């Protein structure tokens, strides 16, 4: 029997697929959401998950995915707001369209998905929203203004939402990894790096934690850089 339904935005991305594998292996039903149908169906086949086309910036698509979840599953247990644009450039040379795209995807997209899926999260007995932030949500760097602004904003959004929902028992948290490496990785040692699977395991920990416990943010670094 399934532990519940997890929806992952940016689902065919690198971390999205690590989330999907980790949750599937732990007995959850997984719905991968992404904007390119071909990439999405390939990733869903690879990770043995269900899928829905969903561009997080398109309200009609968010509503379409919500209808699908409502009709097929009746509720949503875990929403992982993972989709993001990570490119950035120095402010002086950055195309205004890139700045806007970062804010629209990373911040407005998270708002849209959370806003529309909230009624289905409220039907779960132990709902959880995980916003994938970054160490870039805590510390800014030259050349990273668009990404920093979107992720700092995401941290503020997460905190406000947590306070709004705390009395409902819906947990809202963020994970803030530093640079992630993907694929096979040594267990530890100089330069081993933080792996996508480590971040997915942190999300699993949050999802399996007692419903009475509320984590604020899991900031994750690699040891021994």
Instruction: Write out the catalytic residue numbers.
Output: 147, 151
Whichever of 169 and 192 has its CB closer to ligand NAP, that residue is 192
The residues that touch ligand NAP, with contacts defined as CB under 6 A, are 9-10, 12-16, 34-36, 55-57, 82-86, 105, 109, 132, 134, 177, 179-180
**What minimum distance in Å lies between the beta carbon of 168 and ligand NAP?**
25
Q: Which residue's Cβ has the minimum distance to ligand NAP?
A: 13
Minimum CB separation of residue 44 from ligand NAP in Å reads 13
Contacts of 39 (CB under 8 A, 6+ apart): 12
CB of 195 to ligand NAP, least distance (A): 11
Q: Give one DSSP letter per residue of 35-93, joined into a string.
A: S-HHHHHHHHHHHT-EEEE--TT-HHHHHHHHHHHHHHTS--SEEEE---------TTT
Smallest distance, Å, CB 205 to ligand NAP?
A: 17
Element (H, E) at 132: strand 128-132
Residue with Cβ nearer ligand NAP (38 or 125): 38
Residue 82: exposed, middle, or buried by beta-carbon count in 10 A (0-12, 13-18, 19+)?
buried
- Give the Cα separation of 99 and 85 in Å (integer): 10
DSSP reduced 3-state for 1: coil
Between 83 and 129, name the residue whose CB sits nearer to ligand NAP.
83
Q: At a CB cut-off of 8 Å and minimum separation 6, what does 164 contact?
A: none
- Looking at beta carbons only, is 2 or 45 nearer to ligand NAP? 45
């Amino acid at each position: 029997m399934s532990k519940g339904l997890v929806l992952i935005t940016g689902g065919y991305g690198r971390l999205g697929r690590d989330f999907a594998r980790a949750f599937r292996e732990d007995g959850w039903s997984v719905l991968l959401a992404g904007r390119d149908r071909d990439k999405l169906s390939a990733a869903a086949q690879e990770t043995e998950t269900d899928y829905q086309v969903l561009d997080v910036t398109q309200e009609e698509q968010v509503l379409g995915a919500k209808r699908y979840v409502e009709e097929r599953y009746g509720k949503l247990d875990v929403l992982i707001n993972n989709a993001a644009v990570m490119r950035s450039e120095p402010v002086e040379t950055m195309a205004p369209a890139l700045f806007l795209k970062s804010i629209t995807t990373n911040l407005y997209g998270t708002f849209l998905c959370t806003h529309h899926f909230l009624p289905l999260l409220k039907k779960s007995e132990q709902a959880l929203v995980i916003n994938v932030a970054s160490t870039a949500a805590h510390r800014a760097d030259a050349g990273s203004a668009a990404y920093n602004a979107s992720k700092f904003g995401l941290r503020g959004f997460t905190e406000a939402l947590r306070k709004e929902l705390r009395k409902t028992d819906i947990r809202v948290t963020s994970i803030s990894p530093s640079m992630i490496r993907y694929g096979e990785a040594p267990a530890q040692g100089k330069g081993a790096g933080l792996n996508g699977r480590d971040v997915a395991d942190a999300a699993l920990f949050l999802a399996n934690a007692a419903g009475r416990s509320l984590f604020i943010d899991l900031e994750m670094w690699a040891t021994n850089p």
